Amino acid sequence: MFGSDLKDKVAVITGAASGIGLAVAKCLAAEGAKTCLVDIQEDALEKAVEEINDSGGKAGSIRADLGLESDIESLKRRVDEGYGAADILINNAGLQIVSSIEEFPVDQWDRLINVMLRGAFLCTQNFMPGMAEKGWGRIINIASIHSIVASPFKSAYVSAKHGLIGLTKTAALEAAEKGITVNAISPAYVRTPLVERQIESQAKLHSIPEEQVVKDIMLKPMPQKELIEPEEIGETVLFLCSPAARHINGHNLVIDGGWTIT
Ligand code: NAD
């Protein structure tokens, strides 16, 4: 797709046992990349790897907690040994914690920021030098429309995603002359387990059916009133890895059905 030749490129995808990360891994593997799926959920990782290999792709997995510096350092060593230096890094692992600022548990704030912002920084720090040596690399940070707008009760998530855009721009500048591009993708609601959990809890909170949560609450600010499918994010990643995108750098590619233009 998009004339990208990803044959045997090494792609590291964090949070790849589920949702967007899994869809991205499948798309990259379908284009010939050697994919390394990273997550904390071991059983789901195993299943994901099996699924990709059964459909003719190349996949392996490494369990790592992206909130821990030691796990990220060991991830880098194991990728080098088992796959070769990474060409593509997808910083995708994420979680959501919903609470008012007054009641936000500080340990949970730290946990979210550690995984979603510090983890992305540490992965970039560890994998970028190998890409620079090869003179080619693609780093793609899965952000969110919450990198541009805010919602109440999601202070840690919104802060992490806004921060991720700062990291994207800074890394793009530092890598600009090394054949590496660094970009972000910012989707509105994508149909994944993370969102399905939110639909369920909102339905309980407001005592309304789940379909009504999607239509009247989640998609209310989205002119194109549809959930985005995870494969659409995978295909956008392929575009950013393609030759056509070689001068797209430090960009925040928004996929939001028109949400943030209103
Ligand atoms: P998901 O819950 O389906 O997948 C997230 C994955 O990250 C899970 O497999 C989980 O185990 C993994 N993960 C969480 N903490 C981890 C840790 N400490 N170490 C390693 N792995 C960890 O969610 P998703 O919807 O696919 O979200 C993926 C990314 O996309 C997140 O960064 C999320 O913020 C972003 N995003 C999602 C949506 C959406 O609507 N689903 C919209 C915009 C952005």
Q: How far is the CA of 3 from the centre of ligand 1 (A)?
A: 28
Q: Which atom of ligand 1 is nearest to the CA of 190?
A: 40
Q: If you average pLDDT over residues 132-156, what whole number do you get?
A: 97
Query: Considering the chain, what percentage of its residues have pLDDT values greater than 70?
Result: 100
Answer whether residue 1 shows pLDDT above 80.
Answer: no
Answer whether residue 52 shows pLDDT above 80.
Answer: yes
Answer whether residue 232 shows pLDDT above 90.
Answer: yes
Residues 125-143 have pLDDT tens digits of: 999 999 999 999 999 999 9
Residues 27-48 have pLDDT tens digits of: 999 999 999 999 999 999 999 9
From 27, 95, 214, give the residue whose CB has the most ligand 1 atoms within 8 Å, as the site to mutate.
95
pLDDT at 14: 98
Q: Which atom of ligand 1 is nearest to the CA of 233?
A: 30
pTM to 2 decimal places: 0.97
From 39, 51, 141, give the residue whose CB has the most ligand 1 atoms within 8 Å, as the site to mutate.
39
Q: How far is the CA of 66 from the centre of ligand 1 (A)?
A: 11
pLDDT at 244: 96
Q: How far is the CA of 20 from the centre of ligand 1 (A)?
A: 7
From 192, 195, 200, give the residue whose CB has the most ligand 1 atoms within 8 Å, as the site to mutate.
192
Name the pLDDT band for 237 (thresholds 50, 70, 90): very high
SS (HEC) of 97-154: CCECCCCCCHHHHHHHHHHHHHHHHHHHHHHHHHHHHHCCEEEEEECCHHHCCCCCCE
What is the CA 259 to chain-centroid distance, rounded? Answer: 20
Residues 65-75 have pLDDT tens digits of: 999 999 999 99
Q: How far is the CA of 177 from the centre of ligand 1 (A)?
A: 31
* Residue 30 near residue 231, CB atoms below 8 Å: no
Residues 167-207 have pLDDT tens digits of: 999 999 999 999 999 999 999 999 999 899 989 999 999 99
Name the pLDDT band for 262 (thresholds 50, 70, 90): confident
pLDDT at 198: 86
Answer whether residue 260 shows pLDDT above 90.
Answer: yes
DSSP the chain: -TT---TT-EEEEETTTSHHHHHHHHHHHHTT-EEEEEES-HHHHHHHHHHHHHTT-EEEEEE--TT-HHHHHHHHHHHHHHT-S-SEEEE-------B-TTT--HHHHHHHHIIIIIHHHHHHHHHHHHHHHHT-EEEEEE--GGGTS--TTBHHHHHHHHHHHHHHHHHHHHHGGGTEEEEEEEES-BSSHHHHHHHHHHHHHHT--HHHIIIIIISTT-SS-SPBPHHHHHHHHHHHHSGGGTT--S-EEEESTTGGG-
Pocket of ligand 1 (CB under 6 A): 14-15, 17-21, 39-41, 65-67, 92-95, 115, 142, 144, 187, 189-190, 192-195
Name the pLDDT band for 5 (thresholds 50, 70, 90): confident
